[in-house]
Structure 1
Amino acid sequence: MRRRIVVIGATGHVGTYLVPRLVRAGHEVIALSRGEREPYSPAAEWRAVQRIAIDREAEDAAGTFGERIAALDADAVIDMICFGAASARQLVDALRPTRPLLVHCGTIWVHGPALRVPVTEDEPRTAYGDYGVGKAEIEALLQRETLAGGVPSVILHPGHITGPGWPVITPAGNLDPSTWHKLAHGEPLPLPDLGLGVLHHVHADDVAQAFEQALTRPAAIGASFHVVSAQAMTLRGLAQGVARWFGREANLEFVDWLEYERRVGEEHARVTHDHVARGIAASIDRARSILGYAPRYSSLDALHEALGWLLSSGTIDP
């Protein structure tokens, strides 16, 4: 069935893949972004899309963003860039009279350090930090709204979104480009905690797949879903996998956190700590059974495609 779908944040990591998927499925798509960037990957389907430039932050401040979206009279709204409960509330209030389906992009960082693995969607929300806490507050708001008979919603929680076109979380759990260089050249790569910290990557197109499926699964309304690869991996497992693409064995040096910070710098060490402290290996059983989610990419496959772009663009030196 052809539907009118508004995608907020349409040219980002996931939208790059999602918008062409929706066009191919026969939907009318209205793509909203700030107008500062083209999609990461070109696709002919974008020629069939109505594009609107909008500054959400400015319109939220003016109290007009929700009204702008409601005026587009959509059957479904996909919100990729909502980071605070106040912004979500403004959108929901404006959509309540017509009640389109609202599909929200959350994050697996609504979970703090794991007590049981794989982590299911039913685990208590133990988020910390502005990003995770904000997403957890939005999730609670949207679920209350749905239960009260207001705007129906579905919340998807992606892992570390990976793909060609942007820097991605490395096997060291940070964005340090020297990690790739060390693995390519057989140089020592320091890792904390014996390299046993866990990361759960997901390819952006697999996230797009889940968003597309959420539009057609009534049983998903009111629920949250993890959207990650089929299997999380440890830092050492990812490092070994990447090194083998270059015909090498990873030269890993396991160090304590003080030494790790000395070797990589305070900022990279902090990002690594933020990732491995959570240690999230997320279950996708609910997404498989209700959404029909079937990730095409393993964690390593997703990294491989991202690494190919990093090499071809000259971002890293092979």
Structure 2
Amino acid sequence: MRIVVIGATGHVGGYLIPRLVGAGHEVVAISRGLREPYREDPAWTEVERLVVDRDAEDAAGTFGPRIAALRPDAVIDMVCFTPESAAKLLASLRGTGAFLAMCGTIWTHGTATAVPVLEHEDRRPWGEYGIGKAAIEDLVLEEADRPDGLRATVLHPGHISGPGWPVINAAGNLEPAVWRRLAAGESLTLPNSGLETLHHVHADDVAQAFQLAVERQEDAAGRAFHVVAERALTLRGYAEAAAGWWGREAVLAFAPFDRFAATTSEEQAAITLDHISRSPSASIAAARERLGYAPRYTALEAAREAVAWLAVHGDDGIPALTA
């Protein structure tokens, strides 16, 4: 197939592009600039790369027509954040025969009634990001349900993790000191009882799911799928396992959220609150059964790989892992 990937040099694209090229597809990589992808791979030499300012071209009404003019068999859109942008792309691809795989987020769910939550359950998105992605999903699936509509699917990743960028830590935020305390065997305060959950996914597993979706279009079309590790992590269990990466036993304290917030910055406390208020835990049963999705990484393995990279390449004083 001829596949256009929008947002090709991001976290997932570094894994997705080599996967698609390796499977024999012709790939056109769209990005805002010519920055190098997160992962070097010889596959990039076989890819047509185009620099496109989506915001500017959406405003001018030229982005969707530009993508359609590339005559794709499939389009993978990793960086659509507003329903207005999604609507323009859908209108341009309608009638072309192309298949669209759109990137969503598990944050389209609010607080869950039961876990792991299924794709159609508890759709109470929070925040501008989650609300926008939920509206995009509605547009895409409504389009796919029309008799003359575009064949399309939406994939909902969790906390995308891997080497090359910070990872949501055991306190539910991005504070590097969390890793340093665990590595040193120092006390770490977690909010409440530490039983709230996080649901990571390795970037390569997200790439796997998008490859499966475009290669199994009849199974994917008209549906949304969660794309996460098989099981979510509790904050407490995450911290205890992570301490072992440095041969330590976790020394944990627990405090109501307002007291926990006093142990970190206002920004990091807000990130924690966003995560623990949702405590995501999403089912992958639909993706497994219909697409054959089989994540290679557990949530802990995805986080460990990210932290190992930060320890070697970062400047936050995270020591090298010893176990």
TM over 0.5: yes
Shift of 1:66: 0.4
Q: Helix, strand or coil: the match of 1:51?
A: strand
Give the structure 1 partner of residue 102 of structure 2.
Answer: 104
8 Å CA contact 1:143, 1:223 repeated in 2: yes
In the alignment, the residues of structure 2 paired with residue 151 and residue 99 of structure 1 have an alpha-carbon distance, to the nearest angstrom, of 7
Shift of 1:256: 1.1
Give the structure 1 partner of residue 42 of structure 2.
Answer: 44
8 Å CA contact 1:180, 1:316 repeated in 2: no
RMSD (Å), alpha carbons: 0.9
Gaps of 5+ in 1: none
Give the structure 2 partner of residue 53 of structure 1.
Answer: 51
Q: Helix, strand or coil: the match of 1:263?
A: coil
Q: Helix, strand or coil: the match of 1:78?
A: strand
Give the structure 1 partner of residue 219 of structure 2.
Answer: 219
8 Å CA contact 1:77, 1:102 repeated in 2: yes
Give the structure 2 partner of residue 208 of structure 1.
Answer: 207
In the alignment, the residues of structure 2 paired with residue 42 and residue 171 of structure 1 have an alpha-carbon distance, to the nearest angstrom, of 29
Give the structure 2 partner of residue 76 of structure 1.
Answer: 74
Question: Measured at CA, do residues 146 and 314 of structure 1 come closer, stay the same or move farther in structure 2, by a change above 3 Å?
Answer: closer
In the alignment, the residues of structure 1 paired with residue 37 and residue 139 of structure 2 have an alpha-carbon distance, to the nearest angstrom, of 30
In the alignment, the residues of structure 1 paired with residue 35 and residue 194 of structure 2 have an alpha-carbon distance, to the nearest angstrom, of 36
Gaps of 5+ in 2: none
> Is 1:88 matched with 2:86?
yes
Structure 1-normalised TM-score?
0.98
In the alignment, the residues of structure 2 paired with residue 299 and residue 181 of structure 1 have an alpha-carbon distance, to the nearest angstrom, of 20
8 Å CA contact 1:183, 1:189 repeated in 2: yes
* Counterpart code for 1:261: A
> Is 1:294 matched with 2:258?
no
Runs of 4+ in structure 1 off by over 6 angstroms are none
**Identity rate of aligned residues, in percent?**
57
Give the structure 2 partner of residue 199 of structure 1.
Answer: 198
Give the structure 1 partner of residue 257 of structure 2.
Answer: 257
> Is 1:278 matched with 2:283?
no
In the alignment, the residues of structure 1 paired with residue 274 and residue 116 of structure 2 have an alpha-carbon distance, to the nearest angstrom, of 19
Kindly tell me the number of residue pairs found equivalent between the two proteins: 316
Shift of 1:97: 2.6
In the alignment, the residues of structure 2 paired with residue 305 and residue 91 of structure 1 have an alpha-carbon distance, to the nearest angstrom, of 35
8 Å CA contact 1:99, 1:150 repeated in 2: no
Give the structure 2 partner of residue 248 of structure 1.
Answer: 248
Q: Helix, strand or coil: the match of 1:295?
A: coil
Shift of 1:186: 1.1
Shift of 1:36: 4.8
Shift of 1:124: 3.6
In the alignment, the residues of structure 2 paired with residue 5 and residue 111 of structure 1 have an alpha-carbon distance, to the nearest angstrom, of 29
